[in-house]
Amino acid sequence: MAQPVEGFSKRSKDEKIRWLAENYTDYPEETQRLLKQYWNSDAQLQQLHDEFIENTISNFYLPLGVAPNFLINGKLYAIPMAIEESSVVAAASKAAKYWGCRGGFHAEILGTEKIGQVHFQYHGPKKGLQSFIEAITPQLLQDAEPITRNMEKRGGGVTGIELRDRTDGLDGYYQLHCRFETRDAMGANFINSCLEQFATTLLREAGNHPDLGGEAQPIEVLMSILSNYTPGCLVRAEVRCRVEELEAESGMEGAEIASRLVRAVQVADCEPYRAVTHNKGIMNGIDAVVIATGNDFRAVEAGVHAYAARSGSYRSLTGAECTDGMFRFWIELPLALGTVGGLTQLHPLVKLGLNILGNPGAPELMQIVAVAGLAQNFAAVRSLVTTGIQRGHMKMHLLNILNQLGATEAEKTAVVDYFRTHTVSHSEVVARLNALRQMP
């Protein structure tokens, strides 16, 4: 049985691997070989990766693909996508080609505001607290000026500070609700630094302030932290065409497909069980580009799903309608992204990904990412209401199944050719492979 380990972070990488392999795996030698197999042969590059996090033992690779032919606001993009799910890049590419000859994607920024909060406790009269916050706001901004100076030169900075009373939910709970513009940076470190300075000023100014009753310590700061919920940092993307321009499929004409697409989105908008899967498909496309461009996909996921539930019920992130013979399909969601700072300047493949996109600023990247999510959703919903999702998905998954079964290259070629005209399922692939292996 493994025992607690002391000073693990101070051990060499080889020592960490050996300890882990010997104490937690069934085949220690194989474990050590496997982990080292994924080290980069370039020692300098491997050191860069090692220093991203603590206790690095190896690299965990994701395929990096590209979805070409995305026409967005009249400009053609090839979009890098880092993801392991087999059908995502194929679906995005298919949607890009589909809409490329129908006017492409149209995207716009609705806002770029980000939020941070100083959470604190106060049990005195609210009127005095409000007067106090209004009085010290200029001082809050002045004390943070060394932090905000460079951001302001780039057109960003603190855009608002307000007191919010949340005592309806928790006794004595108030917050400084602060708004920020961070330009091409995602801005987490900038926002958090500002907030911690605000907290310092708040406590200093609160001591014996007459509006707070002259108490020595009337306010207790609990924490100062940015919010990953950014409903003011919004982007919208859309496709549209005449109904008759929608390509017929599975015996359905454009009008029927349009009607079914609209109805499918309406189902996701009113049924949370469907909405979760519907939106997860959107995030397949979004997360893949977010990861490939060095952004925080966990923050994006959290903010997007909170936005989907802003009405009190979890709903679709996309909308669709047919009006006056026009079919429209759109998405609106918050995306707090950055193209400077963090991994964008460190990870070689992230720098390459941004270069492939033409080195966009944050607003342009927001539009690209939103389009990737919209394309993914269109491809998925169109498959669902026409051929069904499994036919295309399982064909893309076929090579994964064959690799799991240890198929040779010759066997892969034969099985893939067979399933060009047959329905793919795991059991049918096993049966077909076994049949091949029994042939003389």
Return the active site residues.
85, 280, 296, 393
Indicate the angle between helix axes 145-153 and 126-143, nearest 10 degrees. 60
Given phi > 0 = left and psi -120 to 50 = alpha, else beta, which region is 73?
A: left
CA distances from 366 to 109, 237, 375 (A): 8, 10, 14
149, β-bridge pairs: none
Nearest to 361 by CA among 110, 104, 182, 157: 182
Residue type, 188: A
Residue for token pair 């966990």: 298
Nearby residues of 208 by Cβ (< 8 Å), 6 or more positions away: 214, 215, 216
Indicate the angle between helix axes 362-385 and 389-404, nearest 10 degrees. 100
201 contacts 151 by C-beta, under 8 angstroms: no
- Tokens representing residue 333 in the block: 């969601």
- Tokens representing residue 138 in the block: 């200029």
73 contacts 106 by C-beta, under 8 angstroms: yes
What backbone torsions phi and psi does residue 353 show, to the nearest 5 degrees?
-60, -45
CA distances from 194 to 118, 159, 187, 225 (A): 10, 12, 11, 9
What backbone torsions phi and psi does residue 187 show, to the nearest 5 degrees?
90, 10
